[in-house]
């Protein structure tokens, strides 16, 4: 795939590519002499940031001037905004393959927050290896739950974990629209 570069809106001297790389044309030597435009652009090295025990995203610091402390921006948001436009209020950027380090334009899509939450990887310390399935201690069975129209719905208890996972997938296909289903991390492919 060819790498294409676009200017980052609101940040002169910075560009982002469709492959998720950020570069700066701003450059000062050690004596503080502005050499912008005289040297090759510098590819910025993003930091992996995020909450403890949460999803981490690559981000970079963009500076508006020599005295500006800089603004930390998520690379996925920079890519989307440069190539697709502003992100509407209430929307977020979803990584289609659930890899937050993969900031290629083809891996990003606009999503409501609840849709973005559906498209997540399984937690390492979860009580079940399957999405939408939890171990219910009092019942001593696996329980299936799914958010439908913003409300959590329960779809039964199962002795077998795999049967519960199949029930989750069936419930998602029956109760969610086709648009919503594209964000679901199904347990089994059909």
The structural domain count of the chain equals 2
Alpha carbons 8 and 11: distance in angstroms, whole number: 6
Confidence band for 41, pLDDT divided at 50, 70 and 90: confident
User: Torsion over CA of 26, 29, 34 and 40, rounded to 10 degrees?
Assistant: -40
Evaluate whether residue 158 is within a structural domain. yes
Average pLDDT of 165-188?
90
State the average pLDDT for the chain.
87
Alpha carbons 25 and 39: distance in angstroms, whole number: 8
CA distances from 159 to 68, 83, 84, 134, 171 (A): 59, 49, 47, 12, 18
**Most confident region among 33-47, 64-78, 147-161 by mean pLDDT:** 147-161
Verify that 111 and 64 share a domain, yes or no: yes
- CATH code for the domain in which residue 25 is found: 3.90.75.20
CB 55 within 8 A of CB 85: no
Average pLDDT of 2-20?
93
Evaluate whether residue 33 is within a structural domain. yes
List, in sequence order, the alpha helices (H) in 21-160: 75-84, 113-118
Query: Among candidates 151, 124, 131, which has minimal Cα distance to 142?
Result: 131
Evaluate whether residue 74 is within a structural domain. yes
Verify that 83 and 62 share a domain, yes or no: yes
Confidence band for 108, pLDDT divided at 50, 70 and 90: very high
Alpha carbons 82 and 22: distance in angstroms, whole number: 11
User: Torsion over CA of 101, 102, 108 and 111, rounded to 10 degrees?
Assistant: -30
Alpha carbons 145 and 154: distance in angstroms, whole number: 4
With a cut of 70, say whether residue 27 has pLDDT above it.
no
Verify that 102 and 156 share a domain, yes or no: no
Q: What is the residue range of 168's domain?
A: 122-181
pTM (two decimals): 0.74
- CATH code for the domain in which residue 161 is found: 3.30.730.10
With a cut of 70, say whether residue 56 has pLDDT above it.
yes
With a cut of 80, say whether residue 136 has pLDDT above it.
yes
């Amino acid at each position: 795939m060819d790498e294409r570069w676009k200017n980052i809106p609101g940040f002169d001297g910075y560009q982002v590519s469709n492959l998720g790389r950020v570069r700066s044309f701003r450059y000062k030597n050690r004596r503080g002499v502005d050499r912008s435009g005289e040297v090759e652009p510098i590819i910025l090295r993003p930091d992996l940031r995020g909450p403890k025990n949460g999803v981490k995203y690559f981000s970079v610091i963009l500076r508006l001037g020599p005295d500006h402390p800089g603004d930390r921006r998520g690379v996925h948001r920079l890519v989307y905004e440069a190539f697709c436009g502003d992100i509407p209020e209430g929307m977020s950027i979803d990584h289609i393959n659930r890899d937050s380090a993969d900031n290629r334009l083809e891996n990003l899509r606009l999503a409501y927050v609840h849709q973005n939450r559906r498209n997540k990887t399984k937690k390492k310390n979860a009580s079940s290896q399957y999405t939408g399935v939890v171990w219910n201690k009092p019942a001593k069975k696996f329980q299936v739950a799914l958010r439908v129209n913003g409300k959590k719905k329960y779809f039964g208890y199962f002795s077998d974990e795999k049967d519960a996972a199949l029930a989750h997938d069936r419930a998602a296909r029956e109760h969610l629209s086709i648009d919503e289903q594209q964000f679901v991390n199904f347990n089994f492919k059909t």
